[in-house]
Structure 1
């Protein structure tokens, strides 16, 4: 059940049960997918898939894999094409097909961290290469995540979010939801 573990970790939804609206959105996405055995965690993962930037055929394949417990590598599929382009702007030689969701999110956060382009480029390349992050890079990732969230809720104090809430808010940023949906979800967490 590697798919569930990986996505639950990256989406940071372990402490959050899917809402009825989210469950209905998952169930309504493709009626040929049997969701009768889905757990709360499965629905959280499925909701992330349904609202991602993947094509409908990719979403369907991932949901079917989740429904049948098949081991499918989610890779970087949970970020948008624009985010992929942003990563390639800083790390043009990176193989985005081999990086994990958490690497992609950390590298994207670094791009919002406020450092010089040269420093950002080095940090992004290091993260995407799978090198361990030092304390300074972890601080930049945190700063970058806060900056990304401030783009959606500029008046909100995102420092009040718990680690789980922060991870969930970041997953909203990387989802395929509309900007207004992302903003509303993040505001719900902050308030």
Structure 2
């Protein structure tokens, strides 16, 4: 079975082990942005060991977004490509044109940070601090209210709490279209394991 889109990878819960897979499916539409670079130090017997930590956000501004922390910008970009996830979008009010906001109220948490995302009417824009605003824009969400509690000075936790809302969204109601593909995949797995 040949995979033809990134959504099929998420449908079968397959891990993305190489960043080139993301490049192949999303190509030139993928944009990356460095949120922050900071110096971290560790005290050892030989003295202080200095490293750099980079916060990088990646998205295509049309439904896929990622955020990852690593010790260098290049490594952070590769890790962000490996952790890219689809973002579910919805409507507020009438179902006219494309989905423009999140489908329901959701909350993400990381450390002391608590970020609540609330759907907004069309034309509102993203009412948020700069960090969640960049992540939501990269996910292709045009209208959204946000509420943040905790220490918003820790940019890493703020970005993670914003991103963590996507797995908590309810699954779409179109289960009938997904069932045959999943059944085929399960039959294939049983057949291979039986050999």
Shared fold, TM over 0.5: no
TM-score (norm 1): 0.30
Q: Of the two, which has the highest radius of gyration?
A: 2
The answer to which structure has the higher helix fraction is: 1
Q: Which has the higher contact order (CA 8 A, sep 6+)?
A: 1
